[in-house]
A and B are shown apart, each in its own frame.
Chain A
Amino acid sequence: MIKLEKVSKSFTNGKSAVHALHDVSLEVEAGQIFGVVGTSGAGKSTLIRCVNRLEVPESGRIWVDGEEISALETSALRKSRQKMGMIFQQFNLLSQRTSAENIAYPLEIAGIAKLERVARVKELLNLVGLEDKADAYPAQLSGGQKQRVGIARAIANHPKVLLSDEATSALDPATTDSILELLVDLNQKLGLTILLITHQMEVVKKVCDHVAILENGYLLESGAILDLISDPHSHLSKAFFPPIQEGLLDPQAIQAAITFLGEAADEPILASMVRNYDVDVNFLGGNIQQIGKRRVGQLQVELKGQQIPEALAFLLEKGLRVEVRE
């Protein structure tokens, strides 16, 4: 649905050039909630702005829904932008328009007739749970309500893609959760593909199924969250499950990271391993995280004994992911 191919962008700041993006390639499939994480200054904002060409990349190509955005004429670009929604950290609502009028704005731009506009706005206000705030101005709304208006406005023209630029970063945790729930809901109900950028790992954990990590303009890794997490070498896994200090190792033992996904997290698999094989388990550390609707746990263990290969095979057979550290 969204594809970036070797996208680069730098800004000239006086005499020095700042590279915001270096040859970034990534692909978001239809229906995914794809998160791009990174610290501030990593290039996230530039990346998401390249998708609807608010920023023009210096090199590289970008497709959205099969259309090459990076090659469009101005008027064609405007047409495609009408089919992409975008929400913002600062909401960016028009202060002189009511909620209903804000939501109507993209419909006006798309040339929708008045009667149809009114009906659609009503539908959207219902969808985001703000039926009673139609005539309120942004100054009279809370942060969460403003972002709901922002979301309704962004999806007014039935876009296939929603771009979310730190949409929850200005909100408190409870409001963040309710906005994230709304996004997941829209993703499921409308099949909306969502590309979101955030510096909050929590956001990625709660809603994303795919993730890319951006650092200083470089894409460090990208892929399905569960795959990245179960790879102890990935940056994502290190962020969720910080590795244990090395050097305390028993030279006789091997160290392993065992990742439990979904139902496996609820079964006493390690207990049966110890019972059935000649191995001793020494726990170095562990952590369980809620990722989307799934629980993911990781244990860092030392294994000693005669039947280590058999024990590991047993774990794999039970659907656990095991990574042995040399």
Chain B
Amino acid sequence: MNISEWLPRLWQASLTTIYMVGVSTLFTVILGLPLGVLLMLTDERGLAPRPTLNRVLGFVVNLARSLPFIILLVVLIPFTRALVGSSIGPTATIVPLTLAAVPFFARVVESSLREVPRGLIEASQSMGSSHWQTVSKVLIPESLPSLILGVALTLISLVGYSAMAGAVGGGGLGDLAIRYGYQRYETEVMLVTVVLLLVLVQGVQWLGDRLSAKVSKK
């Protein structure tokens, strides 16, 4: 395969990866943020202790996190098919990617929120805030710099997962690397893909660091 042939493919694969990872991250934040808040609130020493609920949630999160992604990918095939009508292709891959990242991101959120000094929560309560107000006006804004880093971290793991998903028909850079680089021994394609993934990861980390520092007023 010559350059004029695989360059467009590379471009296409990059866009696919960005699409999968981007949409998965979006859903991960939408689902993982409330889950992380819930984990923190219902903790024994949290704002609204619900030890049983907390243990159940914690167990489910740990269970999901302990499953290797490749297994999750396979286990979820029927669910994915029911949800998006197919189990192959970039859009279908978003389902397992999101489900793998939600528990991870929820733990990241939980630990970020825990870093907010206890005194600030106390001050918020002393002013008569409801739990919702304490979460939305104190906990989340105060931990925003750390949450942004958490999103970057999640994005990076999703880039890795998406490459794996490529192996089972997800498309994207991982798919390209396996099919051309590995199965057809086209080392250049493999190398270029790896470099692209590296650039993507570095870029996300750099952007996350910059944004987090810009947002932080500490």
Contact = CB atoms under 8 A, between A and B. Distances in A.
Question: Is the pairing of A and B real?
Answer: yes
17 contacts: A52-B126, A54-B125, A81-B125, A82-B127, A88-B123, A92-B120, A92-B122, A94-B120, A95-B217, A95-B218, A96-B144, A105-B124, A105-B127, A105-B137, A109-B137, A110-B128, A139-B217
Given A54-B122, A94-B120, A139-B218, A109 B141 contact: no
Contacts of B216: 96
A90 B120 CA distance: 9
Nearest to B215: A96
A82 B122 contact: no
Report, as a range, how many residues of chain B touch the other chain.
Answer: 20 to 34
Report, as a range, how many residues of chain A touch the other chain.
Answer: 20 to 34
A130 B35 CA distance: 40
B142 interface: yes
A79 interface: yes
Given A52-B126, A86-B126, A109 B133 contact: yes
Contacts, number: 64
Interface in A72-126: 77-82, 84, 86, 88, 90, 92-97, 105-106, 108-110
Contacts of B133: 109
Interface of A: 52, 54, 77-82, 84, 86, 88, 90, 92-97, 105-106, 108-110, 137-139, 153, 163
Contacts of B122: 54, 88, 92
B135 interface: no
A127 to B, nearest CB: 18
Most buried by B among A81, A92, A93: A92
B186 to A, nearest CB: 50
A90 B124 CA distance: 14
B117 A94 contact: no
A81 B141 contact: no
Most buried by A among B144, B215, B216: B216
A305 B117 CA distance: 66
